[in-house]
């Protein structure tokens, strides 16, 4: 499903580096699987794929049919872990969605919210609002505005069919709003934090409603759960990735750039940045996660990658089989001089650009590795999510932080609430 290649790490990572990190890796594995490491109460994602039942997926399928029947658009309201995985999935699977999805509550842009209201005004709309805490400012405000509009448009009874809440079982304002208004609810498990929640109802509900084959997403995740279960560096690519990024960090490579020549991965990279940034950036430690979409960004950031400060390593995500290819035609005049690639697929050329970039960046002092996703489909997406979640848990423990909390995100909120004079 996923192939891992560390060819361009040679010289940067020696056998003795691997030998040195193995004890920490085994300890991380034992702490994670034994639920005895830091933040163990938020490690429910570890066996989540095998815990999500087929009957729940079926239930979502039935709801999806109803929602698709009654709606022109789905509006997904949420931020951070309650937003990125949904968007990442839909963009990666590009075009598979049966119901167009709009997003709200992932910022506080009045222009964007206004535009959304105008777009959905005369359409049949269903809203899924997602917030684990049920108190996050951005989605709460967006929901307030969208709900008011829907209240004016549909009566209270119709609204019960058109608003779906995904939140904590008991806590939070969203649970209270849902109960008071009789909105349908789905529960986010207590033991799974926001950025690890894409395979819970947080991701599964909106994706099912949009028409994604979530059974396949979970099938891929289940395969990953069993494939990456054992602490065997030779056969566990996920642990190898976790080990190698820590070795590189220890050698002064403080920035990891996730690069892909497959633009549909743009939001997967955004999701990955949240996953690793929020999990590892603690106690003044942690690799800075950045991302590039190539070849686009080779024409903007290519110079920096090739020749800028050498504190960076690169992880490519390649896609072996994209959904479509486009053949380059021959041109009798050949004025642009590209007849030498006539008859080739654009994807073939894209892959040559990747091979060339990996080699050039390596020669320029950027060690790099490649994670290849064999196919751009739902099964592989589920697999990739689990791969990164597990790698992140292991990597965070090896680094010595609690990968499952996020105390640092409170600092600006306190100041913001003081400025807003919240009582
Ligand atoms: O990973 C996290 O915990 C955060 O990024 C949250 O996902 C984000 O802040 C949204 O929180 P909530 O779902 O509680 O609205």
CATH number, position 117: 3.40.50.10490
Catalytic residue chosen out of the listed positions 11, 299, 309, 410: 299
The residue to mutate among 45, 81, 129, 206, having the most atoms of ligand 1 within 8 angstroms of its beta carbon, is 81
% of the chain surpassing 70 pLDDT: 100
Grade residue 10 by pLDDT with cuts at 50, 70 and 90. confident
For residue 135, report the distance from its CA to the centre of ligand 1, in Å: 10
* Whether 291 and 376 share a structural domain: yes
The confidence score (pLDDT) of residue 103 equals 98
82 in ligand 1 pocket by Cβ < 6 Å?
A: yes
* Whether 228 and 309 share a structural domain: yes
Instruction: Look at residues 169, 309, 294, 188 and name the one whose alpha carbon lies nearest to residue 252.
Output: 309
278 in ligand 1 pocket by Cβ < 6 Å?
A: yes
Q: What is the DSSP string of 86-137?
A: HHHHHHHTTT--SS-EEEESSS--HHHHHHHHHHHTTS-EEEEEEESSS--H
- Inter-residue contact 74 to 101 (CB < 8 Å): yes
**Domain final residue pick, 212, 228, 243:** 212
For residue 300, report the distance from its CA to the centre of ligand 1, in Å: 32
* Whether 236 and 376 share a structural domain: yes
% of the chain surpassing 90 pLDDT: 93
Q: 165 in a domain, yes or no?
A: yes
* Whether 125 and 159 share a structural domain: yes
**Domain final residue pick, 163, 187, 212:** 212
For residue 398, report the distance from its CA to the centre of ligand 1, in Å: 24
* Whether 192 and 242 share a structural domain: no
Whether pLDDT at 95 is above 80: no
**Residue with token string 């069993």:** 226
Strands 73-77 and 101-104: parallel
* Whether 258 and 379 share a structural domain: yes
* Whether 20 and 90 share a structural domain: no
299 is catalytic: yes
User: In the chain, how many domains are there?
Assistant: 2
278 is catalytic: yes
**What tens digit of pLDDT does each residue of 201-251 get?**
999 999 999 999 999 999 999 999 999 999 999 999 999 999 999 999 999
Q: 87 in a domain, yes or no?
A: yes
Nearby residues of 152 by Cβ (< 8 Å), 6 or more positions away: none
Q: CA-CA-CA-CA torsion for 400, 404, 407, 412, nearest 10 degrees?
A: 120
CA distance 416 to 411: 9
For residue 53, report the distance from its CA to the centre of ligand 1, in Å: 24
For residue 408, report the distance from its CA to the centre of ligand 1, in Å: 13
Return the number of other C-beta atoms located less than 10 Å from residue 288's C-beta: 15
> In angstroms, what is the C-alpha Rg of the chain?
23
* Whether 130 and 238 share a structural domain: no
* Whether 389 and 244 share a structural domain: yes
**Average pLDDT value for the chain:** 96
**What tens digit of pLDDT does each residue of 304-345 get?**
999 999 999 999 999 999 999 999 999 999 999 999 999 999
Grade residue 11 by pLDDT with cuts at 50, 70 and 90. confident
* Whether 51 and 181 share a structural domain: yes
Q: 137 in a domain, yes or no?
A: yes
Rounded to 5°, angle at Cα 315 from 403 and 310: 95
For residue 407, report the distance from its CA to the centre of ligand 1, in Å: 12
* Whether 69 and 127 share a structural domain: yes
The confidence score (pLDDT) of residue 51 equals 94
Q: 419 in a domain, yes or no?
A: no
CA distance 225 to 50: 8
Catalytic residue chosen out of the listed positions 7, 10, 114, 413: 413
For residue 389, report the distance from its CA to the centre of ligand 1, in Å: 16
The confidence score (pLDDT) of residue 421 equals 85
Q: Higher-confidence residue: 420 or 95?
A: 420
CA distance 221 to 217: 6
Atom of ligand 1 nearest to the CA of 79: 10
Encoded tokens for 353:
């650009």
The residue to mutate among 186, 194, 412, having the most atoms of ligand 1 within 8 angstroms of its beta carbon, is 194
H/E segment holding residue 298 = none
Q: 188 in a domain, yes or no?
A: yes
Q: 27 in a domain, yes or no?
A: yes
Q: Give the pTM.
A: 0.97
132 in ligand 1 pocket by Cβ < 6 Å?
A: yes
Nearby residues of 154 by Cβ (< 8 Å), 6 or more positions away: 162
CA distance 229 to 239: 10
Range of the domain at 326: 2-37+218-408
Compute the average pLDDT of residues 94-109.
Answer: 90
The residue to mutate among 82, 167, 205, 274, having the most atoms of ligand 1 within 8 angstroms of its beta carbon, is 82
**What tens digit of pLDDT does each residue of 76-90 get?**
999 999 999 999 999
Q: 348 in a domain, yes or no?
A: yes
**What tens digit of pLDDT does each residue of 342-401 get?**
999 999 999 999 999 999 999 999 999 999 999 999 999 999 999 999 999 999 999 999
* Whether 99 and 33 share a structural domain: no
Compute the average pLDDT of residues 180-202.
Answer: 97
Q: First CA to last CA across the chain, in angstroms?
A: 52
Compute the average pLDDT of residues 2-30.
Answer: 95
406 in ligand 1 pocket by Cβ < 6 Å?
A: yes
Range 85-88, long-range pairs (CB < 8 A, 24+ positions): 85/197, 85/198, 85/202, 85/203, 85/271, 85/385, 86/130, 86/198, 86/202, 86/203, 86/206, 86/207, 87/267, 87/270, 87/271, 88/198, 88/267, 88/268, 88/270, 88/271
Grade residue 96 by pLDDT with cuts at 50, 70 and 90. low
136 in ligand 1 pocket by Cβ < 6 Å?
A: yes
The residue to mutate among 133, 166, 175, 188, having the most atoms of ligand 1 within 8 angstroms of its beta carbon, is 133
Grade residue 423 by pLDDT with cuts at 50, 70 and 90. confident
Q: 265 in a domain, yes or no?
A: yes
**Domain final residue pick, 212, 243, 264:** 212
């Amino acid at each position: 499903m996923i192939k891992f290649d560390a060819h361009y790490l040679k010289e940067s990572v020696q056998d003795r580096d691997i030998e040195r990190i193995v004890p920490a890796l085994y300890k991380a594995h034992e702490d994670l699987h034994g639920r005895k490491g830091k933040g163990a109460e938020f490690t429910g994602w570890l066996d989540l794929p095998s815990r999500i039942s087929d009957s729940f997926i079926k239930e979502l399928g039935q709801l999806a049919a109803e929602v698709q029947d009654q709606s022109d658009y789905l509006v997904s309201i949420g931020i951070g872990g309650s937003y990125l995985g949904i968007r990442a999935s839909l963009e990666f699977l590009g075009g598979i969605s049966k119901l167009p999805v709009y997003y709200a509550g992932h910022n506080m842009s009045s222009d964007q919210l206004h535009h959304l209201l105008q777009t959905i005004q005369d359409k049949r709309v269903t809203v899924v609002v997602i917030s684990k805490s049920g108190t996050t400012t951005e989605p709460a405000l967006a929901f307030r505005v969208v709900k008011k509009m829907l209240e004016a448009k549909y009566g209270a009874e119709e609204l019960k069919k058109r608003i779906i809440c995904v939140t904590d079982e008991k806590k939070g304002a969203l649970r209270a709003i849902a109960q008071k208004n009789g909105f349908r609810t789905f529960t986010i498990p207590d033991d799974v934090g926001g950025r690890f929640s894409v395979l819970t109802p947080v991701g599964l509900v909106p994706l099912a409603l949009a028409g994604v084959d979530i059974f396949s997403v979970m099938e891929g995740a289940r395969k990953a759960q069993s494939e990456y279960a054992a602490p065997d560096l030779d056969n566990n690519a996920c642990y190898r990735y976790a080990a190698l990024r820590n070795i590189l960090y220890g050698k002064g490579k403080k920035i990891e750039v996730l690069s892909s020549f497959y633009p549909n991965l743009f939001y997967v990279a955004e999701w990955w940045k949240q996953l690793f940034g929020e999990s590892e950036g603690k106690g003044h430690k942690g690799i800075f996660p950045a991302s590039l979409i190539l070849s686009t960004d080779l024409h903007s950031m290519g110079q920096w990658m090739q020749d800028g400060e050498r504190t960076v390593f690169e992880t490519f995500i390649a896609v072996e089989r994209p959904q479509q290819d486009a053949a380059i035609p021959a041109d009798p005049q050949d004025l642009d001089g590209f007849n030498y690639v006539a008859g080739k697929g654009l994807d073939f050329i894209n892959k040559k650009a990747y091979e060339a970039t990996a080699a050039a960046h390596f020669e320029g002092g950027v060690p790099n590795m490649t994670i290849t996703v064999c196919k751009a489909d739902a099964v592989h997406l589920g697999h990739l999510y689990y791969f990164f979640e597990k790698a992140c848990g292991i990597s965070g423990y090896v680094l010595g932080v609690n990968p499952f909390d996020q105390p640092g995100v409170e600092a600006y909120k306190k100041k913001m609430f003081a400025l807003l004079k919240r009582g």
